Structure 1
Amino acid sequence: MAIAPIKCFLVPAISLFCTLASAASGEQLLYRYTDEQGIMVLNEMVPPEYVAKGYEILNLSGRVIEVVPPQLSPEEFEAQRRQEAREEADRKLLKRYNSLADIESARKRKLAIVEQDMAIMHSNITSLTRQITQEETQAARTQRGGREVAPELLQRIADLQKEVAVLRERLKRRADEASSIGEEFDKAAARYAEITNRS
């Protein structure tokens, strides 16, 4: 493959080097980039229209001291961001767990806490439901006796029903959480296996 010639703006490359060297300033730099014709250009600056395409920074001896990569497109930037996020997540995963058995142990511990909380809520709902049944039985007995049910009793029944409704909603959220935990650890185990089998 033929190498594209290097051209310079304003002056030939040799003259440019001599001129810059004679300035006796160690801070002067050269910039190398590719123009619209695919020709490599050496210059004292990079025209704005070429900055996004990337360039190299050289000292007066011609040694590359920095490479400025091309700017990424929005799609490339997003792909790079996702890749970096995945790599960071992988590092954290490998740091947190030493084996698949560790992941399963962590799953069981986390689920045990949620399941214990759910068991307590189930028990409370059963107890409150029993109380509601007793209070409603008493109210029905009062009505059958031709008497008016005390407002306090009706309010107590309503309060118990609200408490049960709150507990049922909390129980549903905890059940959803348990499902999410299972999915989270399934993904962690699958990814851990993929990483360790690949290395």
Structure 2
Amino acid sequence: MRIAPIARLLFTVTLLLSALANAAGSGQVLYRYTDEQGITVLNEAIPPGYVARGYEILNFSGRVIEVVPPQLSPEEYEAQRQQQAREEADRKLLKRYNSLADIESARKRKLAIVEQDMAIMHSNITSLSRQIAQEEAQAARTQRGGREVAPELLQRIADLQKEVSVLRERLQRRAEEESSIAAEFDKAAARYAEITSRS
């Protein structure tokens, strides 16, 4: 009852010795791979259908000189890519900051620049709004006096209003940037704490 497995083993060993002898004589390499039945095969070539499963390259003496890993599925490749990206981001984070205090200090510096810029814009909007109110009051007095408002005055009011509108848009973008910076540093601090707690 045990003849078949022994015969198969002897056949495999014979193939192996034959392949090694051929490789030694030709100076070529051998390829070791697993076929569909799960049997390890040693041959001078690999059928194309088995290449993606991974294989080993052996020299004539049977020593493995290279291992070719199985081809990754799209999901495995994406998971590997994300893992590598995470590891690279972690290396940069640890290189940039020496402690959580460093991260907090950098956050304060960056937010201070944004807040200063926003304060200047608020001040400019207030100043321009005051100017618009004065120009509009002058236009209203002119109209009450029964005279036509000068086109130059109307244009000046329109230009001031446009400038205020541009400043308000910039202010909104800066406010969004402020929130983004705070979230970015929160994330950096949390990740730094996670990495350093493991080490």
TM-score normalised over the length of structure 2 = 0.92
Residues 9-63 of structure 1 show CA distances to partners (whole Å, capped at 9, x for unaligned) of xx7221222222223x3xx111000000000000001110000000001111111
What is residue 4 of structure 2 aligned with on the other side?
A: none
What is residue 13 of structure 1 aligned with on the other side?
A: 16
* Paired letter, 1:165: S
* Paired letter, 1:60: F
* Paired letter, 1:141: R
1:77 aligns with 2:80: no
* Paired letter, 1:50: Y
What is residue 44 of structure 2 aligned with on the other side?
A: 44
SS in 1 for 2:149: coil
Matching of residues 166-185 of structure 1 within 5 Å: 166-185=166-185
For residues 81 and 22 of structure 1, what CA distance do their matches in structure 2 show?
Answer: 43
| Unaligned residue ranges in structure 2 (runs of 5+) | 1-7
Contact 2:23 2:44 in 1 (8 A): no
CA RMSD of aligned residues (A): 1.5
Distance 1:144 1:197, change over 3 A: same
| Unaligned residue ranges in structure 1 (runs of 5+) | none
* Paired letter, 1:183: A
TM-score normalised over the length of structure 1 = 0.92
What is residue 191 of structure 1 aligned with on the other side?
A: 191
What is residue 95 of structure 2 aligned with on the other side?
A: 95
For residues 10 and 23 of structure 2, what CA distance do their matches in structure 1 show?
Answer: 17
Contact 1:7 1:40 in 2 (8 A): no
* Paired letter, 2:151: P
SS in 1 for 2:167: helix
Contact 2:29 2:60 in 1 (8 A): yes
How far residue 6 of structure 1 moved from its aligned partner, in angstroms, is 9.1
Aligned length in residues: 191
For residues 76 and 70 of structure 2, what CA distance do their matches in structure 1 show?
Answer: 11
Contact 1:7 1:41 in 2 (8 A): no
For residues 149 and 159 of structure 2, what CA distance do their matches in structure 1 show?
Answer: 16
Matching of residues 17-28 of structure 1 within 5 Å: 17-23=20-26, 25=27, 28=28
SS in 1 for 2:57: strand
Higher helix share: 2
SS in 1 for 2:42: strand
Distance 1:52 1:31, change over 3 A: same
Which contiguous aligned blocks of 4+ residues in structure 1 show a shift greater than 3 angstroms?
A: 4-8
Contact 2:23 2:30 in 1 (8 A): no
Distance 1:32 1:115, change over 3 A: same
SS in 2 for 1:154: helix
